[in-house]
């Protein structure tokens, strides 16, 4: 299992507060059968420079590695990435490749929590059209209700993009039905825990997947796993 979306690196965003918390989160991920974690701390272009962000991320990961060694914890395979919040002009922004998941052209993009506009569509399209870039839209289920007019949503979903969904909403009986419907509608998606801590937003990928397996069948998850593998290999 790959956890495609996590805030598990210590002290870098609103996720894990320190190395001890990160190690406990990692132990929980391993217990659930996660062998690969994509670390995706928030990146906000209006608050941070890419250079500073990458330095902070490297430092945070180093501290995690040191702490793991001290505590005899074997870290799972980790990819360093970012959850990049949308900004106008992102389609042409030259620093975007540096924010892709390390060693890949995969960009985890967090769209605005508003009605999406045609300007957003143009920017996402420009990103998708860049050579070697694969755009993954983070937790699509969180934006759906903001789209009172679905035209831009539909056009963005028709682009050759990848969609990511969080495990959490599948565990919430109020949100489950809607999310399953969206999942069926969107076909293959990537799954992530979007874990931030050990209580309200803890690692929960296995639990979410169990709900999906029960409702849509294990075959659906096999396709998800194959898609995730393909994405990293291509
Ligand atoms: Fe996130």
Q: Is the dihedral of CA 196, 200, 203, 208 positive or negative?
A: negative
Dist. CA 162 → ligand 1 center (Å): 16
Dist. CA 161 → ligand 1 center (Å): 18
Element (H, E) at 218: helix 218-233
Dist. CA 39 → ligand 1 center (Å): 10
Half-sphere exposure of 142 (CA within 13 A, CB side): 14
Residues in Cβ contact with 205 at an 8 Å cutoff, skipping those fewer than 6 apart: 1, 3, 29, 32, 34, 167, 191, 192, 193
Write out the E strands in 51-178: 77-80, 83-85, 106-110, 134-137, 162-166
pLDDT digits 0-9 by tens, 24-55? 999 999 999 999 999 999 999 999 999 999 99
Dist. CA 109 → ligand 1 center (Å): 10
The whole-model pTM stands at 0.97
Instruction: Assess contact for 123 and 91: CB atoms under 8 A.
Output: yes
Element (H, E) at 152: helix 151-158
Dist. CA 152 → ligand 1 center (Å): 22
Q: Residue 153: pLDDT above 90?
A: yes
Instruction: Give the separation between CA 65 and CA 75, rounded to whole angstroms.
Output: 8
**Which residues are found with C-beta within 5 Å of the ion, ligand 1?**
83, 194
What residues are paired with 196 via a beta bridge? none
pLDDT digits 0-9 by tens, 77-110? 999 999 999 999 999 999 999 999 999 999 999 9
């Amino acid at each position: 299992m790959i956890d495609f979306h996590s805030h598990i690196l210590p002290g870098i965003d609103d996720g894990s507060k320190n190395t001890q918390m990160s190690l406990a989160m990692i132990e929980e991920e391993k217990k659930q059968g996660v062998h690969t974690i994509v670390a995706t701390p928030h990146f906000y272009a209006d608050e941070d420079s890419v250079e500073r962000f990458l330095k902070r991320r490297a430092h945070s990961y180093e501290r995690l590695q040191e702490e793991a060694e001290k505590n005899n914890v074997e870290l799972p395979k980790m990819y360093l990435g970012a959850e990049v919040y949308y900004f106008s002009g992102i389609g042409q922004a030259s620093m975007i490749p540096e924010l892709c998941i390390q060693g890949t052209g995969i960009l985890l993009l967090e769209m605005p929590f508003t009605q999406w506009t045609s300007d957003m569509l143009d920017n996402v399209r420009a990103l998708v059209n860049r050579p070697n870039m694969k755009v993954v839209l983070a937790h699509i289920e969180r934006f759906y209700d903001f789209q009172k007019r679905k035209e831009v949503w539909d056009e963005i979903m028709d682009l050759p993009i990848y969609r990511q969904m969080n495990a959490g909403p599948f565990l919430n009986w109020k949100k489950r039905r809607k999310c399953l419907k969206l999942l069926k509608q969107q076909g293959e998606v990537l799954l992530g825990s979007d874990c931030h801590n050990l209580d309200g937003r803890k690692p929960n990928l296995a639990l979410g997947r169990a709900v999906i397996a029960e409702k849509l069948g294990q075959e659906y998850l096999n396709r998800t796993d194959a898609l995730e593998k393909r994405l990293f290999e291509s």
